[in-house]
């Protein structure tokens, strides 16, 4: 299997949720831990993987890019103010020069530390896969709130990416997924429910670096397997 890993977003970021503070020396250690976890995931899953990075300039940018070699095939580094997540997402797609060589593409926020359990639950499939459902309240109306920190897209759905349709950043992407008519090809890696922000709610597959990690989960005990068997998702 040939994989393309797209690492996007703000690196060496600190200050918590909504902070735009980047490049402070205190952010170095944990961002490096995140980058090393990406490499370890690739190695532990024995993936033949290329890497593309789209991020922002900091004093550590050149060093960070060196960590991803020799798998790094392309990158864009923005200067100055944030350009928005949708722009970064689409720019990562713009840097793909040979779609046919890849069996799947996987987006990760670059400031995620991937926990060992993610390697256990990661799977090759023909479904667009998100990490988990972010909170249970929309389930009451049969509209899942999908976590936006990572996204697996198999080759059969590359056309969505080629059209630059954003199916990651907006947490309420279900309407977009419905319009793309791929609702029956959507899955999650784990069936437990968690907040996106690991400072508010712990989850077993990743943490956001350079912010405290919660010791608890807001939705302890909530599960989604029954929901994902709903006719919206499955022909069963």
Confidence check: pLDDT of 236 > 60: no
pLDDT digits (tens, 9 = 90+) for 87-112: 999 999 999 999 999 999 999 999 99
Work out the pLDDT band at 73, boundaries 50, 70, 90.
very high
Handedness of CA 47, 48, 53, 59 (dihedral sign): positive
Question: Could you give the CA distance from residue 152 to residue 222 in angstroms, rounded to a whole number?
Answer: 23
pLDDT digits (tens, 9 = 90+) for 137-188: 655 556 678 888 999 999 999 999 999 988 887 666 777 887 788 888 999 9
Cα distances from 32 to residues 25, 150, 159, in angstroms, run 12, 19, 33
Q: Is-cis flag, bond preceding 42, omega within 30?
A: no
Q: Nearest Cα to 75, choosing from 93, 98, 101, 95? A: 95
Q: Which residues, at least 6 apart from 64, have a Cβ–Cβ distance to it below 8 Å?
A: 11, 12, 31, 32, 35, 53, 55, 58
Paired residues of 56 in beta bridges: 78
Question: Could you give the CA distance from residue 159 to residue 154 in angstroms, rounded to a whole number?
Answer: 10
Q: Mean pLDDT check: name the lowest of 101-105, 131-135, 201-205.
A: 131-135
CATH of 2-229, one of 3.40.50.12280, 3.40.630.30, 3.20.20.450, 3.90.550.10: 3.90.550.10
Q: Which residue has the higher pLDDT, 26 or 14?
A: 26
pTM flag (> 0.85): yes
Q: What angle do CA 69, 212, 223 make, to 5 degrees?
A: 90
Question: Could you give the CA distance from residue 225 to residue 118 in angstroms, rounded to a whole number?
Answer: 18
Q: Nearest Cα to 114, choosing from 204, 28, 10, 183? A: 204
Burial (0-12, 13-18, 19+ Cβ within 10 Å), 168: buried
Q: Which residues, at least 6 apart from 128, have a Cβ–Cβ distance to it below 8 Å?
A: 151, 152, 153, 154, 157, 160, 167, 177, 182, 185, 186, 187
Question: Could you give the CA distance from residue 129 to residue 212 in angstroms, rounded to a whole number?
Answer: 27
Phi, psi of 78 (to 5 degrees): -85, 145
Alpha helices by DSSP H, 147-210: 158-162, 174-179
| Beta-strand relationship, 72-78 and 150-154 | unpaired
Hey, which bits of the chain come out as E strands?
A: 2-8, 13-14, 21-22, 48-56, 72-78, 104-109, 112-114, 128-130, 150-154, 186-188, 206-208
């Amino acid at each position: 299997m040939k994989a393309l890993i797209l690492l996007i977003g703000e690196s060496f970021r600190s200050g918590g949720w909504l902070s735009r503070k980047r490049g402070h020396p205190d952010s170095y250690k944990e961002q490096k831990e995140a980058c090393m976890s990406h490499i370890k995931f690739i190695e532990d899953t024995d993936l033949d993987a290329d890497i593309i990075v789209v991020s922002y300039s900091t004093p550590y940018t050149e060093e960070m890019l060196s960590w991803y070699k020799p798998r790094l095939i392309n990158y864009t580094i923005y200067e100055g103010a944030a350009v928005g997540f949708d722009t970064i997402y689409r720019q990562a797609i713009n840097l793909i020069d040979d779609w046919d060589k890849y069996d799947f593409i996987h987006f990760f926020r670059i400031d995620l530390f991937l926990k060992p359990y993610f390697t256990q639950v990661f799977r090759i499939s023909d479904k667009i896969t998100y990490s988990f459902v972010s909170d249970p309240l929309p389930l009451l109306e049969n509209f899942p709130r999908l976590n936006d920190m990572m996204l697996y897209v198999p080759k059969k759905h590359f056309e969505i990416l080629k059209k630059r349709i954003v199916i990651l950043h907006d947490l309420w992407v279900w309407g977009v997924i419905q319009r793309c008519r791929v609702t029956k090809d959507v899955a999650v890696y784990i069936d437990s429910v968690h907040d996106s922000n690991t400072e508010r709610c712990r989850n077993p597959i990743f943490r956001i670096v350079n912010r405290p990690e919660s010791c608890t989960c807001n939705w302890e005990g909530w599960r989604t397997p029954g929901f994902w068997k709903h006719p919206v998702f499955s022909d069963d």
